[in-house]
Chain A
Amino acid sequence: MRRSTSRVLRGLALLSTLALGATACGSSDDSSDTKAVSAGDIQSALKKGGSITVWAWEPTLKSVAADFEKKYPKVKINLVSERSGDKHYTALSNAISAGKGVPDVAQVEYFALGQYSLTKGLTDLAPYGAEKLASKFTPGPWNAVSEGDKVYGLPMDSGPMALFYNKKVFDKYKIAVPTTWDEYLDAARKLHKADPKAYIANDLGDAGFTTSMLWQAGSRPYKVDGTKVAINFDDAGAKKFETVWQKLIDEKLLAPVSGWTDDWYKGLGDGTIATLATGAWMPANFETGVPNAKGDWRAAAMPAWTKGDKASAENGGSSLALPALGKNKELSYAFVEYANAGDGVATRVSEGAFPATVAELQDTAFKNKEFPYFGGQKANEIFAESAANVADDWSYLPFQPYANSIFNDTVGKAYVSSTKLADGLKAWQEASVKYGEEQGFTIEK
């Protein structure tokens, strides 16, 4: 595992010129970070008070911030929630590279954490006592926020995958809910034959979905060890996914609709998109985005790649992290711990968030919660089961946001032209390798 120091330094020097260009200022040095912050330090910071700026779009944080301010009257939380996704990361990266206007706490999705942690953009939370919280969280999310003995964020929510299906449509055409991906393919054929306007799912190429599917299929395309990275889509798991999905594409069984558009919400509502394999956070989006299909949908376990296999994967989910250039670190950490591992979790779960904490997932009240949207189904049982079956050895690239941004130029072609999915993945691999090398990563061939 020993690498030559000069190589690492060269890699880091190049890395700091990355798009997000972490300004390597003294305070983010390893040495100064390792001094432990005692619980007493945090308590006195809370007593002293002050204000912190939080950039997070997670809607349930609003109540959490209000509760926190009530509990610690001297603390003021300035929650900035109008930005999300790409815009959020652009703003965060810009602020970090400018060294100005950096928030004290930022929401960072799991797939993007590596990009910030590797360039020293985030504070290691272990000295604040975060590593003692490891057992509180489910393995998937914890694996995503921690790297060796360093902890770069506390998991806020998780997205163990489930198959959401429109029961009304399945009942109408007497199609059984698929338990394997082969059955899923059959169901897709049956449905589209019965109603040419209806599709089993929508897909025009989605990086997040594809990587989660590979994760579930047992493929591990990315291996990351510091600045040493390996990218390889040529394994048995990827083959399984390619085979089934290529058939769905070739037989035109996927609705040509992009996720998260108004067309997509419409399709979920009117039965033309019959299933959706995605993270357990989806119910909240169903309720506000597809209110007209209330009662039509149900949740089920993800179809398996081989019958009886229970392997699941994560899709989406995010953490709260402390940017290295933020101020008021003790206060910020206290808020993050309160929101993600303390009393805030219950508040957030009651407002529809899907937790990443073991206690909440195993809570009987949580499991027995009936979802009126899903016709009274106790959907959390399925989600919790899925969370327990997530393989925790998956890792994303340290430049995953960039890789995802070129997904449609490579793999995306398979959805709209005669390019095969396997060739698309190969092209994605090559483009990712090329970018990684340009950024100073050591890419293992």
Chain B
Amino acid sequence: MSTSVTASPAKSTAPKLRTPRKKHTPGKPKRNVLLTVLMGLMVLYTVVPLIWLVINSTKTQTGLAESNGLWFAHDFALWDNVRDTFTYHDGIFGRWLLNTLLYVVLGAGGATLLAVLGGYALAKFDFPGKRAVFAVVIGAVAVPGTALAVPTFLMFSKMGLTDTPWAVIIPSLVSPFGLYLMWVFAAEAIPTELLEAARMDGASEVRTFFRVALPLLAPGIVTVLLFTTVATWNNYFLPLIMLKDPDWYPLTLGLSAWSSQAQTIGGDVIFNLVITGSLLTILPLIAAFLFLQKYWQSGLAAGSVKE
């Protein structure tokens, strides 16, 4: 089993990291029935919830109760649902969408920027304490963000930052994994000789970074950007404990609030809008993945092979 999986990248002769997608797939590996079946199950496992979501977003509240979850109801209400999702409660869904975008642009964008700068510096400059930084970063990768949310809340509460967008944006700026990825990537993708050549020609460090290093780092940057975007877009726990004002909710919290309306005396039961809202929430992520797929893949493989 192990041979068929690991053989191909080592055999690849094309320059790595920029390798076109097709060359990554092994030529014609021996069929493995067990693997194929396992893979099939995995595909089913990941795709069925998506199919469920798409099918059920076409139903009204009545249709949801009366029909089988994995097939369409007699009524097709997708467009009505989409319209209602955006108009319900004076269009608060749109506000939540903009909030999420704000958190992603500032949080994930900032995290990527910091990771690129830090990763480049750690990979290409020697300075005392580098090993200590390495140890801290590796240690931080192992700590899930959720575990830090409550201590962060207490700290932010003292600083008076809770219940403001900053409470979500600032913690999102820190991405140890992104930093580590950029570090490894920069070490591999930028030949030190190239930097030396640039310096010999009289380019300043800033110019060297922007004109020489940055273009080489592009695939890695996109990868880190995707990682941090997904993490920020899906973040639930951090905003849950940080935010009280629904006007600053991201989509995740907002949808959860809509869902819990069904548990409220006199509350409006809007499972159909919760489902449609969820579908609308994942669409931008799916689009990002489809468009940036090749960067995502090559970035993931960065540093996995030593030549």
- State whether these chains interact: yes
Give A82 to B249 CA distance when docked, in angstroms. 10
**CA distance in complex: A284, B286 (Å):** 37
A352 near B157 with CB under 8 A, answer: no
A290 at the interface (CB under 8 A from B): yes
Q: A284-B266, A285-B267, A285-B269 are in contact. Are A266 and B65 (CB under 8 A)?
A: yes
Q: How many whole Å from B126's CB to the nearest CB in chain A?
A: 47
Q: Name the residue of chain B whose CB is nearest to the CB of A262.
A: B271
* Binary flags per residue of B208-235, CB closer than 8 Å to A gives 1, else 0: 0000000000000000000000000000
A273-284 interface code vs B (CB 8 A; 1 in, 0 out): 000000101001
CB-CB nearest in chain B for A353: B266
Number of chain A residues close to chain B: CB under 8 A? 38
* Total number of residue pairs linking A and B with CB closer than 8 Å: 81
- A95:B266 contact, CB within 8 angstroms: no
In the complex, B196 has a CB within 8 A of chain A: no
B163 touches A101 (CB 8 A): yes
B205 at the binding interface (Cβ < 8 Å): no
Indicate if the CB atoms of B163 and A57 lie closer than 8 Å.
Answer: no
**Are B61 and A87 in contact, CB atoms less than 8 angstroms apart?**
no
A80 touches B245 (CB 8 A): yes
**A285-319 residues at the B interface, CB under 8 angstroms:** 285, 288-292, 316-318
A266-B65, A292-B65 are contacts. A84–B260 as well, Cβ < 8 Å?
yes
**Nearest CB of chain A from residue B239's CB, rounded to whole Å:** 13
Which residues of B have CB within 8 Å of A318? 265
**Choice from B66, B265, B269 contacting A279 with Cβ under 8 Å:** B265
Known: A80-B246, A290-B65, A292-B66. A285 touches B257 (CB 8 A): no
Compute how far the CA of A84 lies from the CA of B246 in the bound complex, rounded to whole angstroms: 12
Inside 8 A of B262's CB, which chain A residues have their CB? 260, 262, 265, 289
- Cβ of B80 within 8 Å of any chain A Cβ, yes or no, is no
Flag if A288 contacts B66 (CB, 8 Å): no
Contacting residues of chain B (260-307) with chain A, CB-CB under 8 angstroms:
260-271
Query: Chain A 94-105 against B: per-residue CB contact (8 Å), 1 yes, 0 no?
Result: 110010010000
Q: Does A246 touch B at the CB level, under 8 Å?
A: no
A98 and B160 CA atoms in complex are apart in Å by 11
Nearest chain B residue, comparing its CB with the CB of A282: B265
Asked if B157 contacts A84 (CB within 8 A), the reply is no
Is B199 in contact with chain A by the CB < 8 A criterion? no
Query: Which partner residue on chain B sits nearest A284 by CB separation?
Result: B266
- The CA-CA distance from A87 to B267 in the complex, in Å, is 15
**Interface code A75-102, partner B: CB below 8 Å = 1, 0 otherwise?**
0000011111101000100110010010
**Interface residue A381 (Cβ < 8 Å from any Cβ of B):** no
Kindly state the separation between the CA atoms of A360 and B268 in the bound complex, as whole angstroms. 23
Residue in B62, B163, B244 whose CB lies within 8 Å of A291: B62
A60 touches B266 (CB 8 A): yes
- CB-based contact B269/A289 at 8 Å: yes
Interface status of B250 (Cβ within 8 A of chain A): no
Contact A83 B61 (CB under 8 A): no
* A58-B266 in contact (CB<8A): yes
Is B110 part of the contact surface with A, judged by Cβ < 8 Å?
A: no
A242 within 8 A of B: no
B254 interface residue, CB < 8 Å from A? yes
Bound complex: CA A83 to CA B265 (Å): 13
The distance from the CB of A60 to the nearest CB of chain B, in whole angstroms, is 7
Contact A91 B269 (CB under 8 A): no
A289 vs B269: C-alpha distance in the bound complex, in angstroms?
5
Which residues of A sit under 8 angstroms from B268, Cβ to Cβ?
59, 288
Complex: A353 Cα to B157 Cα, angstroms: 38
With a cutoff of 8 Å between Cβ atoms, the chain A residues found around residue B271 in the complex are: 262, 265
Q: Is the pair B263, A85 in contact by a Cβ cutoff of 8 Å?
A: yes
Give chain A residues whose Cβ lies under 8 Å from the Cβ of B257. 82-83, 87
Contact of B266 (CB < 8 Å), options: A87, A94, A260, A285? A285
Q: How far is the CA of A95 from the CA of B163 in the complex (A)?
A: 11
* Interchain nearest-CB distance for B225 vs A (Å): 30
A84–B66 CB distance below 8 A: no
Q: Are A59 and B246 in contact (CB under 8 A)?
A: no
List, in ascending order, chain A residues with CB within 8 A of B244's CB.
Answer: 91, 94-95, 101
CB B100 to nearest CB in A, in angstroms, measures 15
Shortest distance from the beta carbon of A58 to any chain B beta carbon, whole Å: 6
Q: Taking the complex as formed, is A203 at the interface, i.e. its CB lies under 8 A from any CB of chain B?
A: no
Nearest Cβ on chain A to B7's Cβ, whole angstroms: 48
Is A59 a contact of B65 with CB atoms below 8 Å?
Answer: no
- Cβ contact within 8 Å between A84 and B267: yes
Q: Which residues of chain A are near B92, meaning CB under 8 Å?
A: 82
Which B residue's beta carbon lies closest to that of A91?
A: B244
CB within 8 Å of A: which B49-102 residues: 60-62, 64-66, 89, 92
A85 CA / B264 CA spacing, docked (Å): 7
Q: A101-B163, A288-B268, A289-B269 are in contact. Are A269 and B66 (CB under 8 A)?
A: yes
- Cα distance A59–B163 when bound, in Å? 24
From B66, B157, B264, B270, give the contact of A57 (CB < 8 A): B264
Instruction: Return the 6 tightest CB-CB contacts between A and B, nearest first.
Output: A289-B269, A82-B246, A260-B263, A84-B264, A269-B65, A82-B257
Q: Given A81-B246, A91-B244, A269-B66, 20 other A-B contacts at CB below 8 A?
A: A57-B264, A60-B266, A80-B245, A80-B246, A82-B254, A84-B261, A85-B260, A98-B157, A262-B262, A265-B65, A265-B262, A265-B269, A270-B66, A281-B265, A284-B266, A289-B61, A289-B262, A291-B61, A292-B66, A352-B266
